[in-house]
Structure 1
Amino acid sequence: MSLVLILILAVTCIVSFIAFKNRQVMDDLILWPPAVARKREYYRLLTYGLVHADGTHLFFNMLTLFFFGRAMAPVYNASMGIFGFGLFYLGGLLVSILPTYLKNRNNSNYYSLGASGAVSAVLFGYILFAPWSQILVLVIPMPAIIYAVLYTAYSIYMDRRGQDHVNHSAHLWGAAYGVVFTIVMNPRVLPHFLAALSQPHF
C-alpha cells in the first residue's frame, strides 16, 4: 500500500481524535471563511480536511479512502511520481472547498470540515476505471456507476435544500475534480470508461 496513503490516513485520524477532545485545535483547523478572507489563514483551505464532526464521520471517510485509495494511489503515482497520490488528494481538498469558501467568505456563521470532498475525488477517479465493479453502500452491493449517479443526484438535491448542515457542494466539486483530473492525467481512461459502460455486468 502507498506510504502516502498510509500517512494521510494516520495523520487525519490522529488530528481528528485530538480535535474531538480539544476545541482549540478544532477551531484552529476548521474552515471558517472569515479567517481566510480577513486573517489570511489560507492553510484552512486544506486543514479542514483533517478534522471531522464525530467518530462516524471520520470512520466512513477513512474507510472509503482506505479501500479506494489502495486501488488509485498506484495510478497517480505512476503518472506523477511517488507523491502523485498525495498531490491529487490535496488538490481534491482545495478544489472541493473553493466554491464553498467563495460563496461564504464573509459569512461568520459558516463552518465546514471533513475530508469528504477529497474522498469523493478518489472514489470517482476509481469509477472511471471500473464502472461496473461492485461496491457496498451501507451494506447494500451495487455497481459503482449506479452509485455515482445516485450520489450525484442526491448531493445536488440536498445542496439545493441546504437544511442538513452537510457540505454537499464539496462532495460534488470533489467528484468533478476527480473525474477531470484523472482524464487529463491519462486521456486514455475516457475511451476505456465509455467502452466499459457499453458492456455492463453485475
Structure 2
Amino acid sequence: MGKLDLVTIVIIVANVIISYKGFGDFGFFEKYKFNVGAVQRGEKVRLFSSGFLHVDNAHLFFNMFSLYFFAEVVINLMSVSSFIIIYVGSLLMGSLVSLYFHKQEYHYSAVGASGAVMGIIYAAILLQPGMSLYIFFIPIPIPAYIFGIGYLLYSIYGMKKSLGNIGHDAHVGGAVGGYILTLILAPWLLKTNLFMIVLLAIPIVLLYVLKKAGKM
C-alpha cells in the first residue's frame, strides 16, 4: 500500500465511521455538527468535528469520491505531510468562513468535508493546472482550472443568493485555505505557475470586493 492509499483511506474511513455514527445517533450528530451558537459558547471542537459528519450517503460519497481523485496529485507533487496540512487547514478555514458570514445566525448549522475537499481540489489545480476532469453527464474533458474557477464563482453566487441547503461559504473558505496553504508550502509555484495563480485568485478577490461593498 503506497502513501497515497494509506493517508487517503485513513481519512475516508474516518469520515465513513463518524458519518455513520451520526446517521444512527441523533445526539452524537447534534453534539459535533457545526453550529454558530454552540461555537460562540466555546465548543470550538465543532469547527473540526463537523468536517467528518455528513447528512446522508450521497453527501458522503460525493465528498470522498472527489477527495480520492484529487489527493493523488497533492501527495505526489508535494508530500503526505503537506496534504494533511492542506486538508485540515482547509477544513478549519471553511468552518471559520461559515462562522464569519453567519455570526448573527445562532441556529445556523452545517456538516461535511466539502471545505477540506475544496482545499485539496484547489491545491491540485495549482500544482497541475493542465489536467482535465470528466464531470458527470458531460462527455468532454474540462480543464481543471475552468472547473475550479467556475465552481468557486458558483459557490459565491450561492452564498449571495442562499441557494439550496448547501454550505457554499464552507466551499469558498476551503478553496481559499487550499490556495493560501499550497502557496506557502510550495512557493516555487510563484515562478512556474504564476499565471494560473493569478487566474485562480480572481474569485477570491471578487468575494473580497463584494464583501467590502456590502453586497455579501
Q: Would you say the 8 A contact 1:124–1:178 is kept in 2?
A: yes
Aligned to 1:200: none
- Structure 2's unaligned 5+ residue stretches are 198-216
Aligned to 1:22: 25
Match of residue 107, structure 2, among 103, 106, 109: 109
Superposed counterparts of 1:87-106, under 5 Å: 87-106=85-104
How many positions carry a matched residue from both structures?
192
Aligned to 1:45: 47
Q: 1:195 to 1:68 in 2, by over 3 A?
A: same
Superposed counterparts of 1:52-67, under 5 Å: 52-67=54-69
Q: Would you say the 8 A contact 2:102–2:108 is kept in 1?
A: yes
**In structure 2, how many angstroms separate the alpha carbons of the residues matched to 1:46 and 1:54?**
19
2:10 aligned with 1:7, yes or no? Answer: yes
Which runs of structure 1 show a deviation greater than 3 angstroms over 4 or more consecutive aligned residues?
194-197
Superposed counterparts of 1:165-176, under 5 Å: 165-176=165-176
Q: Would you say the 8 A contact 2:52–2:113 is kept in 1?
A: yes
Give the structure-1-normalised TM-score: 0.87
What is the root-mean-square deviation of aligned Cα atoms in Å? 1.9
Give the structure-2-normalised TM-score: 0.82
**In structure 2, how many angstroms separate the alpha carbons of the residues matched to 1:169 and 1:41?**
20
1:146-170 CA deviation, whole Å, 9 max, x = no partner? 1112112211111100131211111
Q: Would you say the 8 A contact 2:116–2:174 is kept in 1?
A: yes
Partner amino acid for 2:153? Answer: A
**In structure 2, how many angstroms separate the alpha carbons of the residues matched to 1:178 and 1:196?**
14
Identity of aligned residues (%): 32
Q: Would you say the 8 A contact 1:5–1:73 is kept in 2?
A: no
Q: Would you say the 8 A contact 2:78–2:186 is kept in 1?
A: no
2:93 aligned with 1:73, yes or no? Answer: no
Aligned to 1:183: 183
Deviation at residue 102 of structure 1 after TM alignment: 2.9
